[in-house]
Amino acid sequence: MTKAKQIEYCSLSKEMDLDEPHNIQPWKRLSFQCAKTFVFIFNGFFWLLGWTLIGVGISLQSSIGAHKYLASRGYEDSVISGKDYGGYSSASELCLSIGCIILLVVLLACCGTHTENHLILGIYLAIVVIFLSFEIVAITMVSFHKEKVEQRIINDIKLTMNFYEVKNFEGITKSIDSFQKVFHCCGCIDYADWFNTTWGKHHKMDVPSSCLKNNTWQEAIHQGMIDTSNTVFTINKEGCFKHVRDYFVKNLHLFRTLIAWVL
């Protein structure tokens, strides 16, 4: 073997040895495996988030049909109107779109990490940076339009109350009852919100039993119509929106910590 061939053979052997996994130092291999495991676990949470958003989007699409169903039954008031369909349709489409994008991003992250493909990981990093930029913009917009956001939430809560005890919407009924019992609240702004709902049109001057301070009085109170002038002290008068807002304000530091961790 000539000297030139020997040098070429030695160089090729060194390159092959460097590429062999067993030549990587143990602590580096362990660190790399830990990093890969962390990426898989971290993206697992976002995988669940993506499917959750898709589920919410599908649920909102179903609620659009429910709005039209109620309208067809003659319950067309200021709370349920055609102008609300567009907002719910946009919200459902937004949830479905974001959910699908999150699933795609998670898939890119897992594939790129598993195959150690720099191109896929680069695309993943670019998408994450774009998402973080949108997140910062969204938080800023919410801060500047706090009153509009709160009013939109109030309208949505009042709209949801119209599905209370509506056939095929038992889940909403259970959720509202559980919410009012846990937070000891009634209605959105106050208990009188129930008087203007679909349920309230069939139960004049009445509120659901979950509004009662003491459910053992249910039979005594619900023997017809509630006389609010005499028995209002037996129900929770404050609305649920105030309690939800206070809950978020009270735990604001937890949400800030979560956002900081994600960033």
Q: Percent of the chain at pLDDT above 70?
A: 59
Q: How many CB atoms lie within 10 A of CB 172?
A: 19
As a whole number of Å, the end-to-end CA separation of the chain is: 59
C-alpha to C-alpha distance for 21 and 143, rounded to whole angstroms: 51
pTM of the model: 0.49
109-142 per-position pLDDT tens digit: 888 877 877 787 788 778 878 877 776 776 677 6
Which tokens in the block code for residue 192? 């009188």
Residues written for the chain? 263
State the 10-residue block means of pLDDT for the chain, 263 residues long: 50 46 59 74 79 75 57 46 50 74 82 79 80 72 72 83 82 85 88 88 83 60 47 74 75 55 49
3-class DSSP assignment, residue 212: strand
Is the domain covering 146-262 a CATH 1.10.1450.10 domain? yes
